[in-house]
């Protein structure tokens, strides 16, 4: 290759020496003729380009958002992976009620709602003007059809079906009123339908939801390039106060440093969550705004309780004592994010600080391990290819080695291979993953979840909290469940993923916190340019 170039180069040199111009097709042109043609072309181009540029008015902005993961389907009810809801929830798909930036439930498609005194009957008054992007009305029939689909459609994820289990019947009282009857009171149900279990789809779009989402939000899908980007554009017939943006593009960057570089070069307008926090200082100049908020993404060292060694409480506790979570967070995530100690984010009403339950104590870890009678412990730590995992895995492996536990690290491509191997086949001992759904502590009461965790005390506490008559009693029962989970070392709760959003300084309306699955751009604005 090199040879070919140099010989071509020599030819060109010789030709040029003889007073000719080189052209790559091998013909030698006379210098003057070539110059005349080139000058004419450039003159024409200059005129055309100046004419185009001179008359155009500032255009509405298509904001480009950098994200770390991309979805394998666009239907959040049949496919897992936070990337789908991140782009589509609230932006394209709306729900009856939504979770706002501070974690509270606020009206969306339901302008108001009431609950019967016994807590078993919910009546939603729909926004009378609401329509889907197709123009079809969002009426009580469309709402019931969407919610009924979660219950009936076998393709819907079991985790979402579970959220609809309390529902016994749904009635269209009139075109704008829906009444939902529950089997028993549920404190979590309204919260559960504020995210993907409660999305209201255009009734005509159910069959094609995996590739052509049709909702009632201020944006609609324009184009999806799998593995690369999701382009949303303004829904010009939006029923509410619409967006001023031309649209939003969610673009995937597998490498956090590439994403930072794209932001610095002006290719991006927003980074949804900086995944290389040690490089955050790059955005300290006035071109950028850095928002440091909280999220609901608990990064956990998950245990497979079906693995013989990890079904032993002493082994799990030994691992929890062996890991210095503060030093881990400081080294791997530049000290950003809170230490939590259980599956509860500080934005949840039943939060209590359990981060001191397992202080770093290698001697105690060795003692517990010896007491368990298990020697030569070798565990498979199968991690996803996500920014926080390799660093955390290296740290944990080193600290476990100090107490005599060998952890073998395998890095699995995320989402496809990791989800299949760890969540579906459960072929793992430990993994490191962030659980981003809000109030997802209830997964510890689900023995069918990928942890194979079966603790009746936890299940009873969470079930009792769900039907508790007052929020104070609910919070007390949930706090009790969180403590039980921590005492039982059901997992090691490493740290809470901080929400580190970077925007260009002219972008407004982006929330600092990520307390729902959505990257909510409905209030975002940027001056046209």
Partner 1 sequence: MKRAVLWAGATLVALVVLACLVSVAWLPTDPNTVGTPTLAPPSADHPLGTDNLGRDLAARLLVGARSCLLVGVVAVSIGAVIGVPLGIIAGGSRGVAATVLMRGADIVYAFPALLLAILLAAARGHASTFTAMAAIGLSTIPAFMRVTRSAAVDVLAQDYVMAARGAGFGLGHIALRHVLPNVAPVVLVQSSSAFGVAILAEASLSYLGLGTPPTTPSWGRMIYEAQSFVYSDIQLAALPGICIAAAVLGFNLLGDGLRDLLDPTLREITR
Kindly state whether residue 282 participates in binding partner 1, applying the rule CB under 8 A.
yes
Q: Which two tokens stand for residue 376?
A: 């030569």
Kindly state whether residue 279 participates in binding partner 1, applying the rule CB under 8 A.
yes
Question: Can you point out the beta strands (E) in 185-316?
Answer: 219-225, 229-234, 247-252, 270-271, 288-293, 298-303
Q: Are the C-beta atoms of 246 and 59 separated by less than 8 Å?
A: yes
Q: Which contiguous run of DSSP H or E holds residue 412?
A: strand 406-412
Q: How far is the CB of 235 from partner 1 (least distance, A)?
A: 38
Identify the residue among 46, 211, 398, 505 touching partner 1 (CB under 8 A).
398
Build a one-symbol-per-residue string for 222-261: x at contacts with partner 1 by CB under 8 A, - elsewhere.
---------------------------------xxx--x-
Question: Can you point out the beta strands (E) in 191-261?
Answer: 219-225, 229-234, 247-252
Q: How far is the CB of 457 from partner 1 (least distance, A)?
A: 35
Q: Are the C-beta atoms of 302 and 432 separated by less than 8 Å?
A: yes
Kindly state whether residue 395 participates in binding partner 1, applying the rule CB under 8 A.
yes
Pick between residue 198 and residue 387 the one whose CB is nearest to partner 1.
387
Q: How far is the CB of 328 from partner 1 (least distance, A)?
A: 8
Kindly state whether residue 500 participates in binding partner 1, applying the rule CB under 8 A.
no
Q: How far is the CB of 71 from partner 1 (least distance, A)?
A: 19
Identify the residue among 152, 330, 353, 506 touching partner 1 (CB under 8 A).
330
Q: Which stretch binds partner 1 (CB under 8 A): 8-16, 24-32, 275-283, 355-363?
A: 275-283
Kindly state whether residue 363 participates in binding partner 1, applying the rule CB under 8 A.
no
Q: How far is the CB of 401 from partner 1 (least distance, A)?
A: 7
Q: Which stretch binds partner 1 (CB under 8 A): 34-42, 100-108, 310-318, 391-399?
A: 391-399
Q: How far is the CB of 130 from partner 1 (least distance, A)?
A: 45
Q: Which two tokens stand for residue 278?
A: 């040690």
Kindly state whether residue 390 participates in binding partner 1, applying the rule CB under 8 A.
yes
Q: Are the C-beta atoms of 290 and 283 separated by less than 8 Å?
A: yes
> What's the CA gap between 355 and 357, in Å, rounded?
6
Q: Which two tokens stand for residue 120?
A: 């078993």
Kindly state whether residue 409 participates in binding partner 1, applying the rule CB under 8 A.
yes
3-state SS class at 226: coil
Pick between residue 164 and residue 389 the one whose CB is nearest to partner 1.
389
Q: Which contiguous run of DSSP H or E holds residue 86?
A: helix 82-88
Pick between residue 358 and residue 395 the one whose CB is nearest to partner 1.
395
Q: Which two tokens stand for residue 8?
A: 């071509």
Kindly state whether residue 450 participates in binding partner 1, applying the rule CB under 8 A.
no
Nearest to 340 by CA among 116, 495, 466: 495
Kindly state whether residue 278 participates in binding partner 1, applying the rule CB under 8 A.
yes
> What's the CA gap between 461 and 484, in Å, rounded?
9
Footprint on residues 310-329 left by partner 1 (CB under 8 A): 327
Q: How far is the CB of 393 from partner 1 (least distance, A)?
A: 5
Identify the residue among 104, 118, 413, 506 touching partner 1 (CB under 8 A).
413
Q: Is 9 exposed, middle or buried (0-12, 13-18, 19+ CB in 10 A)?
A: exposed
Q: Are the C-beta atoms of 148 and 170 separated by less than 8 Å?
A: yes
List, in order, residues 6 or more apart from 152 with CB less than 8 Å away. none
Pick between residue 144 and residue 412 the one whose CB is nearest to partner 1.
412
Pick between residue 114 and residue 378 the one whose CB is nearest to partner 1.
378
Q: How far is the CB of 162 from partner 1 (least distance, A)?
A: 29
Nearest to 415 by CA among 156, 86, 71, 65: 71
Pick between residue 334 and residue 374 the one whose CB is nearest to partner 1.
334
**Three-state secondary structure string covering 293-336:** ECECCEEEEEECCCCCHHHCHHHHHHHHHHCCHHHHHHHHCCCC
Kindly state whether residue 385 participates in binding partner 1, applying the rule CB under 8 A.
yes
Number of residues that bind partner 1 (CB under 8 A): 33
Q: How far is the CB of 319 from partner 1 (least distance, A)?
A: 16
Q: How far is the CB of 420 from partner 1 (least distance, A)?
A: 9
Bridge partners of 97, per DSSP, are: 107
CA 478 to chain centre: 25
Q: How far is the CB of 337 from partner 1 (least distance, A)?
A: 16
Kindly state whether residue 411 participates in binding partner 1, applying the rule CB under 8 A.
yes
Identify the residue among 410, 460, 473, 487 touching partner 1 (CB under 8 A).
410
Nearest to 290 by CA among 278, 298, 280: 280
List residues near partner 1 by CB under 8 A: 255-257, 260, 276, 278-279, 281-282, 327, 330-332, 382-383, 385, 390-391, 393-395, 397-399, 401-402, 409-413, 417, 421
């Amino acid at each position: 290759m090199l040879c070919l170039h140099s010989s071509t180069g020599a030819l060109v040199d010789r030709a040029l020496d003889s007073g000719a111009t080189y052209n790559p097709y091998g013909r030698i042109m006379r210098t003057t003729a070539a110059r005349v043609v080139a000058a004419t072309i450039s003159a024409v181009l200059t005129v055309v380009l100046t004419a185009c540029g001179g008359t155009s008015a500032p255009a509405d902005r298509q904001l480009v958002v950098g994200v770390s993961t991309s979805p394998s389907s666009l239907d959040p009810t049949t496919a897992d992976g936070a990337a789908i809801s991140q782009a589509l929830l609230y932006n394209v798909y709306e729900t009856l009620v939504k979770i706002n930036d501070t974690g509270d439930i606020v009206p969306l498609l339901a302008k108001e709602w009431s609950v019967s005194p016994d807590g078993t009957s919910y009546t939603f008054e729909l926004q009378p003007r609401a329509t889907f992007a197709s123009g079809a009305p969002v009426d009580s029939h469309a709402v019931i059809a969407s919610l009924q689909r979660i219950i009936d459609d076998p393709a819907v994820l079991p985790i979402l079906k579970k959220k609809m289990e309390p529902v016994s019947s749904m009635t269209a009282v009139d075109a704008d009123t829906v009444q939902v009857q529950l089997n028993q009171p549920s404190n979590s149900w309204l919260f559960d339908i504020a995210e993907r279990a409660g999305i209201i789809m255009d009734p005509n779009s159910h069959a094609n939801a995996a590739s052509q989402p049709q909702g009632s939000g201020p944006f609609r899908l324009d184009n999806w390039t799998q593995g690369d980007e999701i382009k949303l554009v303004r829904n010009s017939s939006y029923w509410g106060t619409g967006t001023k943006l031309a649209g939003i593009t969610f673009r995937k960057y597998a490498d956090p440093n590439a994403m930072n570089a794209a932001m610095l070069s002006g290719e991006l307008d927003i980074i949804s969550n900086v995944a290389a926090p040690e490089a955050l200082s790059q955005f300290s100049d006035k071109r950028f705004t850095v928002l440091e908020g909280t999220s609901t993404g608990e990064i956990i060292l998950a245990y497979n309780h079906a693995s013989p060694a990890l079904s032993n409480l002493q082994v799990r506790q030994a691992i929890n004592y062996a890991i210095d979570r503060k030093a881990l967070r400081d080294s791997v995530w530049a000290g950003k994010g809170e230490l939590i100690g259980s599956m509860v984010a500080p934005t949840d009403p039943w939060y209590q600080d359990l981060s001191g339950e397992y202080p770093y104590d290698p001697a105690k870890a060795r003692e517990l391990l010896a007491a368990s009678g298990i020697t030569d412990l070798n565990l498979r730590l199968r991690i996803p290819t996500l920014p926080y995992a390799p660093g955390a895995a290296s740290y944990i492996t080193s600290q476990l080695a100090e107490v005599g536990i060998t952890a073998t690290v395998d890095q699995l491509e995320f989402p496809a291979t990791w989800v299949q191997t760890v969540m579906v086949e459960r072929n793992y001992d430990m993994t490191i993953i962030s659980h981003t759904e809000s109030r997802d502590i209830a997964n510890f009461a689900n023995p069918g979840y990928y942890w194979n965790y079966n603790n009746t005390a936890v299940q009873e506490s969470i079930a009792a909290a769900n039907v508790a008559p007052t929020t104070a009693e609910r919070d007390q029962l949930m706090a009790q469940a969180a403590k039980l989970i921590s005492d039982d070392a059901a997992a090691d709760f490493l740290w809470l993923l901080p929400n580190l959003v970077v925007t260009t300084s002219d972008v407004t309306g982006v929330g600092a916190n990520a307390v729902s699955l959505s990257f909510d751009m409905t209030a975002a604005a940027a001056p046209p340019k």
